[in-house]
Structure 1
Amino acid sequence: MSGTVGTAARLLRRVPFTAGLLVVLVASAFVADRTRWGTGVHPLGEGRWWTLLTSGLVTSGPREAVVGVLLVAALMAPVEHRRGSRWTAGTWVAGQAAAGLLATLAAGILQDTSAWWGRFLVQAVVSGPLPGVLVVVGAATATATPLLRRRTRVVLGVVLVMQVLYSGTAGDLHRLAGWLLGLTGGVLAARWRARRTGVRPERGPVSRRESRALVALVVAAAAVGPLVAALSRTPEGPWAVVSHLFVSGRPGADLVRQICVDGDAATCRVLLERARLGGAGPALLSVLPVLLQLVLAEGLRRGRRAAWTGAVVFSGVLTLVGAVVVAVVLRHPDAAVVVLHTARAGLPAVALWSPVAAPGAVLVLLLATRHRFPVPAAPGSVRRWVTLAAAGLGVVVLVYVGAGVLLRSDWAQPPTVARLLADLPARMLPPGWLGEVLPQVAPLRGAARVLANWTGVLCWAVLVGTAWAVVRPAVPQGDAARARALVDRHGEGALSFMTTWTGNRWWFTADGRAVVAFRVVGGVALTTGDPIGPSDARAAAVPEFTAWCLARGWTPCWYSVTDEVARALPGGRRLQVASETWLPLGELAYTGKKWQDVRTAINRAARDGVEAVWLRWDEAPLALREQVARSSEEWLAGKGLPEMGFTLGGLDELADPAVRCLLSVGVDGRVHGITSWLPATRDGVRVGWTLDLMRRSPGCPPGTMEFLVGTAALTFQEEGCEFVSLSGAPLAFPDGDGDADALARLLEATGRLMEPVYGFRSLLSFKAKFQPRHRPLWLVHLDPADLPRIARAVSLAYLPHLSVGEAVRLGRALLAGRRRPPRPATPARTVPAGPTPSTEAAPLVEAGSR
């Protein structure tokens, strides 16, 4: 116990301002009158300007005090520890006052433009330290790592905007104002520092994995937003009316009396129907559609194409239905009371159009990011989902109709089978839609009311439960299964296993003995390495596939292939694009001076207690996988260049059970680095492994990558494998290797131009530590006139999502590299974009060799 207290005391001494603020907040919970400390339009109008600061020292109640203490400790303490107490204190004080002033001015403007929301904001008194805390956090993101900056800004930005749109309290507005002020101040300060020092802050690209997670976050937030407004005590945000379409509580007795005495008879009937709603059934009926959207969001996070399709359909339906609601309100203003729980008079346009704008914004985002979700659902999963969903819904319908007929005395009017079937769709609608769609039959009591309230819940439960079928990982089937079977038997090449990756298509010989993996990019059929199959079938597949492509109007391009393919294509022209490095096993031993770097790295790891851990990715503990994923994202964000694909694997490719991962783990459990290895198989027997993914954690010990690669090679040798392929270094060739024609010299010059950014030669130097043998990899084509198209296709294959901003940054990096003086011949920070596997691992060379 004393140790825990001592640790807490040491942590608090490191963040004295945060600790002091926490003490003040706890003490303020016992203050009797806290309203005079808060700020807002009325306090400032009365001349109490000091409330801009005192509002941050109190909270509105004990519950708010607990939440405030937790958020201050979680958000501001790390910033103070990194940026210092003086900067944190000054930023918080100035930010708290500025956020309060900005939000108050915004409330005054909104009062003039929206009597409905602005009046509510003007009357409120706000207290709490979070506006200033968000200023501190927003400003600090400008100097954070690209990954942390992007995640913090997106997560907090989405949460704060959704709170303002749906909940819309004055406190929400103050917090959003603080966040925007912090972001603006941080950006301006970063630009000022850049002009003064000439060093621009890193702007890392968004990886495929990260972008999927961010899109899924937005979809989930949009789904939960109406529930947030419904559960809020005072949902007054401009989009709060959307919540009434999903969650509809019982109308007040005064409203029912007023409408039924003086209003429309149809409206009275709707309100009476709503007055009968109650219990867990209608509540779940409001939640389950949201839960279905959350399931789809999880599928989006995994990159599933089926989940993207489902989310687009769901958002499209909501947008269409929202348009119908808006049209009804515009045509019949009195309907706003029933549909939106608000009178049409005084309803601003931003609220009136929110049923369309809310789902429409999500729909636009999904359509704009459609290329980020290429992972197919498990073959047959759609058919399986339809079967399970139809069977489940069929059972529910039979129970509803059968029980409804048997309980005919419990309904307001005797139901028939036809009437019950017509009534069923209305039972699936959330209670808020009762204003537009009235049930065909009304339950009076007992079992009939239970049946009416829970049938829709069961229908949605069936849809949500079976929706998991579309977010599961795909399993090989059809062409993919045939290709995988050939790879598992004859995939002995360095790129063979990559033919199983998502994005490839497969062509089989007539006898099915060989397969060619390819993808069509801009009319170019780009292969993924050599054909897979027995040697005689591989040789026959080369001219057959080439003729097949020509017959379809595609330009065939054999990419990253060996001499075997170059010899098998009559009339083909070859161009060396890389040099594969591979180690023969059987007598490998790290003895002698030439192995000094590798031997030193292994000995250092043993001395420091660093352990090499083999595992399959799906079997790894969640905490360990999160470490690796976070390190990978930080590495990618820090390099400032877009993530590549095609023959460069990422974290998504680790999920295959045939892939092995080797991790370097310190004595404290921290992951220093990771390598992944793809199997090479001959006649069904593992004969070798190919290095694919390499990632290191920031601040890892020197020699980490030498330790991992060296340990892996010894392990494979003990298992009886014949070779280890370290993949290739694109546009970098050993001395005396490569062609001597003009085009080859042009490629060599291109490699020199890109060396400061991608470090191809440094990568080759790193691999030379393992004394590998070299084998040329070729680009084989038929006509030199096709080379411009082929070059464009290769670029798009590796960078399919290259944005204009990323292209500009890449160009700036290349130009800066040309101006930079030559560096010593030591392994440099490399970010290659080459044609062979594992070249994306080159950035790790820096950490492992310096």
Structure 2
Amino acid sequence: MRNEPTTRARRAGAAVLRWCRTRPVTLAVTALVIVLSLTGFIASPSGWGWQVLDEGVPEIFIQRHWWGTVTSLLAVPDLASLLALVPVLLVVVGAAEKTMGSVRTLIAYVVGGVAASFAGLGVGLLEEQFLDFLPLNAPAVDTLSPLAALICTAMAASSFAGALWRRRTRLLATLTAVTLFLYAGGANDLFSLLAVPIGLGLGYVLGGRHSGFRLVRSSHHEKRVLLAALTFVTSVGPVIATFSTTGAGLLSIYGFLSDDPVTLVDGQTCAFGSPAAPCPDTYDSFGELQPASGFIALLPILVAVIAAWGILNGRRAALWLAVVFNGVVFAGMLYVFSVIQPETVAAIAQLRDAESQEYVWQTLSSSLIGALVPLSVAIVLVVFRRNVRAASTPAALRTFGLTVGVAAAANLLLAFAGGLVASDGYNPNLDVGDVLVGLPLRLLPPTLLPSDILTFVPSSGWAQAFWYLPSLLFWLATTVATARLVLDPGAVSGASDRARARLMLERGGGDTLSFMTTWEGNAYWFSPDLDAAIAYRVRGPVAVTLGGAFGPDAQRPEVVAGFVEFCGENGWTAVFYSVEDGDDSPYRQLGWQRMPVAEEALLDPATWNTSGKKRQDIRTATNRAAREGVTATWTSWHDLTIAEHAQIREISEAWVADKSLPEMEFTLGGVDELADPEVRLMLAVDEAGRIQAVTSWLPLFAPGGVHGYTLDFMRRRADSMNGIMEFVIGAAADHMKAAGLDRMSLSGSPLASRPDDGERAPITRVLDRFGELLEPAYGFRSLLNFKRKFQPEFVTLWAVYPESSVLPSLGIALARCYLPHLTLAQAARMAGTLREPREPVAAK
């Protein structure tokens, strides 16, 4: 134990040295940036000694400083920028160098950066000549552009990355460049925007893969990542516009919204453009009444950021909050466009920069264009809302509404009372009518109020308190309410029932599918008299169970009868799906019909071994893994590192991207289900620490604890060794045998039957035919044949239903359970790809 810290330090040191040895370009670029930037800082007391390193139209085309196109990629103008840039360089360039090699990385950084710079200078000249009527970006006078080179490098490296990081890198780089260009609008931001297509094309030239981006081929989790990123970036855009020093972007008008319209001019409060409290045309001094008032406007943005986090976690309420937020911003920007007059904008611009007066009409056009951004975000969120499915409980929604409503009423009352008490502290003095007319505006952050609509402004200290406090307190309360609604696990609809069902499951009883009942999307029926429950999903008139009952009393016939009665009371037809139906089955007493829907493969870990000719493939795969240095690791999601999480998501996204249809659900789990602390993972990891394949195992509970596991999630890399899945599953069987477990299920293969099942009913033959049609897209039968290699015992899983007239509704209900969001376009695409051979589903 005494040597453990020393061992860890040595390992960390070895890892750092290994990282450095494999990333010489990253270290060289970072060192040059540090040296050149520090040299520039020291060369001049004003901090502008790096002028000879930068680029711009005068330097490149007049002074002939051609080296500036390269040196500008390796320096920043101030220490704060350097401290922020160095870690980004190490991460981005380091990741690119690992992904596509040192030579390609150097080419992408230098050649791509220079190309983006020249393109930016050229576009800038065209803008000055032909597009000066649009507020696009600041002119390229003095420019240092390492960000453009970074974006170009990242985009080039994305062509060499897997599906997950290819998509994420391109999205993040594009959103970053577009956001900076729109909201900040510096010359650097134009270069960064142009670096996106240049880097993408350069990646193809350097040998990267050509692949299109199709959102429909993402997993549900990845779609939430993209929606959350879009919401977050567009929410913080106004902050970027506020702190930008250029004010030249197309959406830089958002920066004006952080300026307090109430101004202190020659000691008197007024508002430029206000009809009732105007400021004088001539003055000696001016300033904002409360410069810190702009921070109140950050609270609505914080609400949007919390909503983005909720979208990432699948909270439907967060999505609708983001839709409302963007809808309000859209309406507000339209109002700004229609209400603010050019002379008012000119007066406001005069406070910030006298030269801005000539761009007044550009500000108006920016208002109109700026309204399209939140509108577009709202439309995207609504279109893809089905991927954000965790509904909130009615109680949580009521609490949120009550909190916001009470906060609004209380602060409106505060503003009303303050207007009356301090009526003589306003300019002009107020009466009751004036207070009532202006009351709704008190809930808005003061900096968002157009000065045109201000009929009075605060002068005294008390008047200022009643002017600023109501909006501050209201948005603080709204932020807290939003955080509770979006972040509280107990606010999710069904969370309490799911927790109750899980405790019942852990007490024992149930089948090999029972742990799937803990997944989101299920409803629960609890027996009023017995310790048992059933999970189900209602689709149309049919209530489809997920497996059979679970809990200590799961096998009691009264449980099945009680659920049937419950469904009848609600006007549903009960169907027990994927259940075993032996002679002692509780379903026999119903006297219902049944049909086979899957074949489950069971193994006895106690008798497991790889001897015999029929298990030759497992032995071959195990021996090959040993030769190639691939090892099996039994672990859980929470024991893995962030980098290992990313690898698993990358493997899964690559698999999903290859499919013409979305991921199936219901009894087929995805990456989201791996995070449960009771789920175990068996990984295949090579000598470099790269995950080659992953499987997940769901626990089977008995009264004494876990007595076995069911296979759920199966994914492997496309370039992994042949037989990798045989090796991983064989290793899992070895582990369960060593742990003394008594049951191992390779799960069921839906719509796949053994050929020796004997005479089959007409409806079964129809399902067989349907399975044959789906085989090219999902490969269930290929998966069944794969499981035969392990020589399991096959057990038929049945659908138990009351009568044949239910079958059409049942077919539709099952399709909606497995593919709840299948669109007509996707269905048509599926029909066109059914004849194309595809790799097996690798999920069940």
Range class of TM-score, shorter chain: 0.7 to 0.9
Q: Contact 2:258–2:447 (CA<8 Å) still a contact in 1?
A: yes
Give the aligned partner of residue 162 of structure 2: 145
Moved more, 180-189 or 476-485: 476-485
Residues 54, 726 of structure 1: alpha-carbon distance in 2 compared, 3 angstrom cutoff? closer
- How far residue 98 of structure 1 moved from its aligned partner, in angstroms, is 3.6
Q: Deviations over 1:621-675 (max 9, x none)?
A: 7676566555544554467763221221223334556655666789998767655
SS at match of 1:287: helix
SS at match of 1:165: helix
Residues 510, 453 of structure 1: alpha-carbon distance in 2 compared, 3 angstrom cutoff? closer
Q: Deviations over 1:200-244 (max 9, x none)?
A: 999992111111111111111111101101101112111111232
Separation of aligned partners in 2, 1:270 and 1:746? 85
Q: Which one of 651, 665, 689 corresponds to residue 645 of structure 1? A: 665
Residues 393, 433 of structure 1: alpha-carbon distance in 2 compared, 3 angstrom cutoff? closer
Separation of aligned partners in 1, 2:206 and 2:728? 37
Matches within 5 A, 1:83-232: 83-92=100-109, 94-111=111-128, 114-115=131-132, 117=134, 121-122=138-139, 124-184=141-201, 186=203, 205-232=217-244
Give the aligned partner of residue 285 of structure 1: 296
- How far residue 531 of structure 1 moved from its aligned partner, in angstroms, is 5.2
Q: Contact 1:612–1:662 (CA<8 Å) still a contact in 2?
A: yes
- How far residue 137 of structure 1 moved from its aligned partner, in angstroms, is 3.1
Separation of aligned partners in 1, 2:334 and 2:247? 22
Matches within 5 A, 1:241-390: 241-248=253-260, 266-268=277-279, 275-280=287-292, 282-329=293-340, 332-337=341-346, 345-347=360-362, 350-378=365-393, 380-388=395-403
Residues 340, 145 of structure 1: alpha-carbon distance in 2 compared, 3 angstrom cutoff? farther
Give the aligned partner of residue 841 of structure 2: 831
SS at match of 2:458: coil
Give the aligned partner of residue 432 of structure 1: 448
Matches within 5 A, 1:680-759: 680=700, 689-695=709-715, 702=724, 705-706=728-729, 709-710=732-733, 713-714=736-737, 717-718=740-741, 723-737=743-757, 739-740=759-760, 744=764, 747-748=767-768, 751=771, 758-759=778-779
Moved more, 266-275 or 461-470: 266-275
Q: Which amino acid aligns with 1:216?
A: A
Task: Tell whether 2:451 aligns with 1:468.
Answer: no
Q: Contact 1:204–1:639 (CA<8 Å) still a contact in 2?
A: no
Q: Which one of 529, 532, 546 corresponds to residue 547 of structure 2? A: 529
Q: Deviations over 1:686-745 (max 9, x none)?
A: 665433334557888846522553256337745xxx633331123333452365456655
Unpaired segments of 5 or more residues in structure 2? 1-9, 351-355
Residues 60, 726 of structure 1: alpha-carbon distance in 2 compared, 3 angstrom cutoff? closer
> Which TM-score applies when normalising by structure 1?
0.77
Moved more, 21-30 or 706-715: 21-30
Q: Contact 1:38–1:126 (CA<8 Å) still a contact in 2?
A: yes
Residues 454, 123 of structure 1: alpha-carbon distance in 2 compared, 3 angstrom cutoff? same
Q: Which amino acid aligns with 1:237?
A: G
Residues 85, 258 of structure 1: alpha-carbon distance in 2 compared, 3 angstrom cutoff? same
- How far residue 752 of structure 1 moved from its aligned partner, in angstroms, is 5.7
Residues 596, 247 of structure 1: alpha-carbon distance in 2 compared, 3 angstrom cutoff? farther
Separation of aligned partners in 2, 1:142 and 1:744? 46
Q: Which one of 77, 91, 100 corresponds to residue 61 of structure 1? A: 77
SS at match of 1:121: coil
Q: Contact 1:114–1:348 (CA<8 Å) still a contact in 2?
A: no
Identity %: 30
Separation of aligned partners in 1, 2:671 and 2:639? 14
Moved more, 138-147 or 593-602: 593-602
Task: Tell whether 2:783 aligns with 1:763.
Answer: yes
Q: Deviations over 1:781-802 (max 9, x none)?
A: 6777876665555344323345
Give the aligned partner of residue 238 of structure 1: 250
Matches within 5 A, 1:560-579: 560-563=578-581, 564=585, 567=588, 572=593, 574-579=594-599
Q: Which amino acid aligns with 2:178?
A: V
Give the aligned partner of residue 495 of structure 1: 513
Q: Which one of 770, 792, 817 corresponds to residue 837 of structure 2? A: 817
Separation of aligned partners in 1, 2:799 and 2:389? 27
- How far residue 313 of structure 1 moved from its aligned partner, in angstroms, is 1.9
- How far residue 277 of structure 1 moved from its aligned partner, in angstroms, is 2.8
Q: Contact 1:423–1:439 (CA<8 Å) still a contact in 2?
A: no
Matches within 5 A, 1:383-532: 383-388=398-403, 425-426=441-442, 428-433=444-449, 435=451, 438=454, 442-445=458-461, 449=464, 452-471=467-486, 472-473=488-489, 474=492, 476=494, 492-506=510-524, 517-521=535-539, 525-530=543-548
Moved more, 125-134 or 175-184: 125-134
Q: Which amino acid aligns with 2:378?
A: L
Q: Deviations over 1:592-626 (max 9, x none)?
A: 547787789899999989685555x6787767656
Q: Deviations over 1:417-473 (max 9, x none)?
A: 99888658526424132525548662424x664565445333322221232221222
Give the aligned partner of residue 822 of structure 1: none
Separation of aligned partners in 2, 1:80 and 1:519? 48
Q: Which amino acid aligns with 1:306?
A: A
Q: Contact 1:121–1:170 (CA<8 Å) still a contact in 2?
A: yes
Q: Deviations over 1:279-329 (max 9, x none)?
A: 54x142021111111111111110001111222222222222222222213
Give the CA RMSD over aligned residues: 5.2
Matches within 5 A, 1:634-673: 636-637=656-657, 642-654=662-674, 659=679
Count of equivalent residues? 805
Task: Tell whether 2:561 aligns with 1:540.
Answer: yes
Residues 723, 5 of structure 1: alpha-carbon distance in 2 compared, 3 angstrom cutoff? closer
Residues 544, 531 of structure 1: alpha-carbon distance in 2 compared, 3 angstrom cutoff? farther
Residues 816, 19 of structure 1: alpha-carbon distance in 2 compared, 3 angstrom cutoff? farther
Matches within 5 A, 1:753-792: 758-768=778-788, 770-779=790-799, 790-791=810-811
- How far residue 356 of structure 1 moved from its aligned partner, in angstroms, is 1.9
- How far residue 479 of structure 1 moved from its aligned partner, in angstroms, is 6.4
Moved more, 300-309 or 484-493: 484-493
> Which TM-score applies when normalising by structure 2?
0.78
Q: Which amino acid aligns with 1:164?
A: F
Residues 308, 560 of structure 1: alpha-carbon distance in 2 compared, 3 angstrom cutoff? same
Separation of aligned partners in 2, 1:185 and 1:11? 22
Matches within 5 A, 1:596-635: 628-629=648-649, 632-633=652-653
Unpaired segments of 5 or more residues in structure 1? 819-828, 833-837, 840-850
Q: Contact 1:664–1:674 (CA<8 Å) still a contact in 2?
A: yes
Q: Which amino acid aligns with 1:498?
A: M
- How far residue 760 of structure 1 moved from its aligned partner, in angstroms, is 3.1
Q: Which amino acid aligns with 2:557?
A: D
Q: Contact 2:253–2:363 (CA<8 Å) still a contact in 1?
A: no
Q: Which amino acid aligns with 1:268?
A: C
Separation of aligned partners in 1, 2:482 and 2:146? 42
Separation of aligned partners in 2, 1:266 and 1:410? 13
- How far residue 369 of structure 1 moved from its aligned partner, in angstroms, is 1.1
Q: Deviations over 1:540-566 (max 9, x none)?
A: 3576578668x56x8x76543433587
